[in-house]
Structure 1
Amino acid sequence: MGLTDTPPPHVPSWVVPASGALLITGAISWDMCYVLMSIRSHRTKSYGMPLLALALNLSWELIYAARVAEHPLERLGFLVWLLLDVPLVYTTLKNAKHEWRHSPLVAENIGAVLTAMVALGCAANYAVADWWLSAPGTGFGDKSGKWWAGREGFDCTELAFWTAGLAQLALGTGCLAMLLVRGHSGGTSYAIWFCRALGTLTGWIGSTSLLWWYWPEAHGFFVNPMGIFLMTTCLACDTAYPFTLAVVRRSERVLSDGRLVSGISVKQSAAPIVKKRL
């Protein structure tokens, strides 16, 4: 976002293009992540993106492609993401029954569950975008040079930073939690983690940090306590992920059909189960 911004004279002319290049690098990294995740999910008969993160990402991409993006490169990026979402959604719907055996209600209604989550995500993202773009000057600092739909004072960079940050938080924490709960690496790999982490570091953090350093009056939100919390939490999860993945892969088992399961046995409780009468 922000490819149409016109910075003040004190900002070097290369800053906005360089920030855009980092954003594109992040987008390509996420493209690779989506492709690798779909392939790995198919091979291991699992899925690699937590349901909440998938719903948030899909709804974010739908709303921003239709409501916010205006530069051709931005629209192209969202279109590619939406196309790559198709195999992600397919493998999730197809293989969720294996991962949700402990909850038949979810396993048998995964399509309805995901549809409801995406619908709620679309409503939330549309509400935020509509409020943000309803009047100029929304957000942190001076929005001079920030353009949207031919009008000045609308900062889509900050809007995307916050909304994408929440989706990143759900994805980073969700992927780590899912790995720990499952105890196997179905739907994920070191290459997937690397592409995902690189996309976060360049497309979300790197591109915005460059703008903040040279154009702080409009990008002070980057060092806002909430922004710091989002970034440090996501980076912490991405840092811990490969080490957790290494531990999980040492203990997982491969079934005859290619599925992966946890190799750590669950100890049965020594306490007797007593049924209480109501």
Structure 2
Amino acid sequence: MDLFLTLVSGVAWTVVYVEAIRVGLRDRTYAMPVAALALNFAWEATYAVGEFRAGVSPQGVVNVVWALADVVIIWTYLRYGRAELPGFVTRPLFAAWSVLVFGSGFAVQWLFLAHFGSHDATRYAAFLQNLLMSGLFIALYADRRGPRGQSLVIAVAKWLGTLAPTLLFGVVEDSPFILGLGVLCSVFDLAYIGLLVWGRRVAAVPAGREPADPEPAGLTP
């Protein structure tokens, strides 16, 4: 069961990254909220180094692959992200802001590591930033007034990729804290999936086309 849930999580998150790259390049934007992207990249880079210090491991290899995928997503953010901001944001200001966001991502991960130790820090940081990402995806939809730079594949894969470790660490390993965070992630993820489905249905209805009201009986000539 442990191996199965780990594989589900690994495959699902890989799908998230690959689809985020594809959608970002297609829509000429970035497909992951930048604060969550910064935390994700810092988590993967930090714990990839930690894993390899003890020797080559499957999780360490996965972390490196995910970190490399994040580098491509970061490139889409750097390439297209300034266009999402107000016009007064100059290139130097955008660069300074980006350094602050990504630097803060590493600082947060290292603070978790210093306080909780590697075993708990990997889990606590991952689920807390996952919950943040779930909420920020909904905010991204609202900010862009639609699904540009987003996809149902990303939403579903993220949900499954988080649900699997929620069951593993929250249920199998009996951690109420992680179980609670995982449940909250699922609530937000399912809400986001519902939002994307609803948006598709609304977009599929031609503008101005509404069902005609039936004429009252007895008024037809």
Q: TM-score, normalised by structure 1?
A: 0.65
Aligned identity (percent) is: 24
1:41 to 24, 32, 42: 24
How far is 1:103 from its partner?
5.8
Q: Does 1:53 align with 2:14?
A: no
Judged with a 3 Å threshold, the aligned counterparts in structure 2 of structure 1 residues 82 and 248 are, in CA distance, closer, same or farther, namely same
Partner of 1:190: 152
Does structure 2 conserve the Cα–Cα contact (< 8 Å) formed by 1:68 and 1:129? no
1:85 to 54, 57, 70: 70
Amino acid paired to 1:208: F
5+ long unaligned stretches in structure 2: 208-221
Amino acid paired to 1:58: F
Does structure 2 conserve the Cα–Cα contact (< 8 Å) formed by 1:47 and 1:92? yes
Amino acid paired to 2:109: N
How far is 1:229 from its partner?
4.2
Secondary structure of the structure 2 residue equivalent to 1:186: coil
Partner of 1:76: 61
Judged with a 3 Å threshold, the aligned counterparts in structure 2 of structure 1 residues 117 and 160 are, in CA distance, closer, same or farther, namely same
Does structure 1 conserve the Cα–Cα contact (< 8 Å) formed by 2:30 and 2:80? yes
How far is 1:75 from its partner?
0.6
Amino acid paired to 1:159: A
Partner of 1:223: 176
Partner of 1:244: 195
Does structure 1 conserve the Cα–Cα contact (< 8 Å) formed by 2:170 and 2:176? no
How far is 1:243 from its partner?
1.9
Q: Distance in 2 between matches of 1:28 and 1:37?
A: 14
How far is 1:114 from its partner?
2.4
Partner of 2:133: 171
Q: CA deviation digits over 1:127-169, x for unaligned, max 9? A: 3213333xxxxxxxxxxxxxxxxxxxxx72x332211011101
Q: How does 1:24-173 map to 2 (within 5 A)?
A: 24-67=7-50, 70=54, 72-100=57-85, 102=86, 104-105=88-89, 109-133=93-117, 156=119, 158-173=120-135
How many residues align? The count is: 203
Q: Distance in 2 between matches of 1:66 and 1:27?
A: 18
Higher helix share: 2
Does structure 1 conserve the Cα–Cα contact (< 8 Å) formed by 2:128 and 2:181? yes
Secondary structure of the structure 1 residue equivalent to 2:89: helix
Q: CA deviation digits over 1:180-216, x for unaligned, max 9? A: 22112122111111111111111x212213533xxxx
Secondary structure of the structure 2 residue equivalent to 1:109: helix
Secondary structure of the structure 1 residue equivalent to 2:147: coil
Amino acid paired to 2:47: Y
Amino acid paired to 2:186: L
Q: CA deviation digits over 1:219-263, x for unaligned, max 9? A: x4x213xx45422321111111122113334566xxxxxxxxxx9
Amino acid paired to 1:190: L
Amino acid paired to 2:80: N
Q: CA deviation digits over 1:88-147, x for unaligned, max 9? A: 0111111113322x36327763333222222122122123213333xxxxxxxxxxxxxx
Judged with a 3 Å threshold, the aligned counterparts in structure 2 of structure 1 residues 126 and 68 are, in CA distance, closer, same or farther, namely farther
Does structure 1 conserve the Cα–Cα contact (< 8 Å) formed by 2:48 and 2:63? yes
Q: Distance in 2 between matches of 1:38 and 1:74?
A: 22
Q: Distance in 2 between matches of 1:99 and 1:54?
A: 16
Q: TM-score, normalised by structure 2?
A: 0.81
5+ long unaligned stretches in structure 1: 1-17, 134-154, 213-219, 253-262, 264-278
Partner of 2:142: 180
